[in-house]
């Protein structure tokens, strides 16, 4: 039997902050921990109050307990165990995320589908039970995927089919980042760097009239090597790519971005897509959708959205930027083996 090699980048950061500290004299607090199946690092500036980090990680812990499909007593697991036509009252947090997930499921005509859990579980990418499923197994899983079987009205969820199961992994980290930003603003903090395993939120400015520089990960290299830098303030940057979670069998890479249409990992010329926007939950969904769309359709899609930009990296090391990002010169290429293709 041929050896199966698995490479799971659960704790790596596809996008990482470069030069996060503003000034050596700045006072700040920082903490890293595992939450939402990834490494989370939070840095808050102009404070020494560690209770701020305690509160933030309590927020993350509560979100994990609600949204993790690995916990039998989580709120999402209770939804997934529901029989059809049985209404269930859900929390405001769950209602917010499912509602946004359904919005993007409809917007993408099902290419992004929150009922993809049967397929995610079948492949097991990122777990100890990864495998290449048989065609019959994939066909069965696909028959249970249809976001239209989910009804949501005023915190009441009902499923039309008992087999319908939800996986919010495509947007839960984005929601968590937004909740942290909301908490910090309510407490009066205006400068922070939030990194949820690649879902980055740069709150405020690096220093007065100076933007944060965020490195865009080189998808062909180990974490810590980047192809360029994007300069932002009060923005989130979220990436989807085939280098984040995957396994290799018989020389072929199987990554975690699965098509709810044919049941296999998306196969196009993209290595990764980074979305730059104001809402992390939206950027989370958009990064997946645009990756699945592919280069041409993805670029056109993002160019028609307000306050949203994107960086596309192809398998032949070409970089494509959305029009405003290119024209505003907010992205600087630092790796000479790549080429910006905008004209």
Q: Which residues are annotated as a binding site for Mg(2+)?
A: 170, 284, 288
- Binding positions are 170, 284, 288
**Per-residue 3-state assignment (H helix, E strand, C coil) for the chain:** CCCCEEEECCCCCCEEEECCCCCCCCCEEEEEEEECCEEEEEEEECCCCHHHHHHHHHHHHHHHHHHCCCCCCCHHHHHHCCCCCCCEECCHHHHHHHHHHHHHHHHCCCCCCCCCHHHHHHHCCCCCCCCCCCHHHHHHHHCCCCHHHEEEECCEEEECCCCCCCCCCCCHHHHHHHHHHHHHHHCCCCCEEEEECCEEEEECCCECCECEEEEEECCCCCCCCEEEEEEECCEEEEEEECCCEEEEECCEEEECCECCCCCCECCCCEEEEEEEECCHHHHHHHHHHHHHHCHHHHHHHHHCCCCCEEEEEECCCEEEECHHHHHCCCEEECCCCCEECCC
């Amino acid at each position: 039997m041929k050896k199966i090699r698995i490479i799971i980048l659960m704790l790596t950061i596809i996008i990482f902050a470069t030069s996060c500290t503003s000034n050596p004299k700045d006072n700040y607090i920082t903490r890293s921990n595992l939450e939402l199946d990834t490494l989370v690092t939070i840095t808050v500036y102009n404070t020494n109050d560690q209770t701020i980090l305690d509160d933030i990680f309590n927020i993350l812990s509560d979100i994990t307990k609600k949204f993790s499909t690995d916990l039998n007593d989580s709120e999402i697991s209770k939804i997934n165990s529901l029989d059809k036509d049985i209404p269930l009252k859900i929390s405001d947090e769950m209602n917010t995320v499912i509602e946004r997930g359904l919005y993007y499921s409809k917007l993408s005509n099902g290419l992004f589908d929150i009922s993809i859990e049967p397929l995610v579980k079948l492949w097991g990418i990122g777990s100890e039970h990864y495998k290449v499923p048989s065609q019959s197994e994939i066909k069965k899983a696909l028959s249970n995927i249809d976001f239209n079987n989910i009804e949501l009205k005023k915190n009441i969820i009902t499923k039309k089919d008992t087999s319908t199961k939800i996986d919010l992994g495509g947007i839960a980290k984005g929601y968590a980042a937004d909740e942290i930003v909301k908490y910090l603003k309510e407490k009066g903090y205006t400068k922070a760097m939030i990194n949820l395993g690649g879902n980055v939120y740069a709150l405020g400015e690096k220093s007065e009239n100076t933007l944060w520089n965020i490195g865009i990960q080189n998808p062909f290299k180990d974490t810590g090597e980047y192809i360029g830098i994007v300069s932002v303030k009060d923005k989130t940057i979220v990436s989807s790519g085939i280098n984040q979670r995957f396994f290799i069998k018989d020389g072929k890479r199987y990554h975690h971005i699965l098509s709810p249409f044919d049941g296999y990992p998306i196969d196009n010329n993209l290595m990764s897509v980074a979305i730059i926007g104001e809402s992390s939950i939206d950027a989370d969904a958009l990064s997946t959708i645009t990756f699945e769309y592919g280069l041409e359709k993805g670029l056109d899609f993002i160019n028609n959205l307000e306050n949203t930009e994107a960086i596309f990296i192809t398998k032949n090391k070409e970089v494509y930027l959305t029009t405003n990002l290119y024209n505003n010169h907010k992205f600087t290429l630092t790796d000479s083996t790549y080429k910006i293709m905008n004209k």
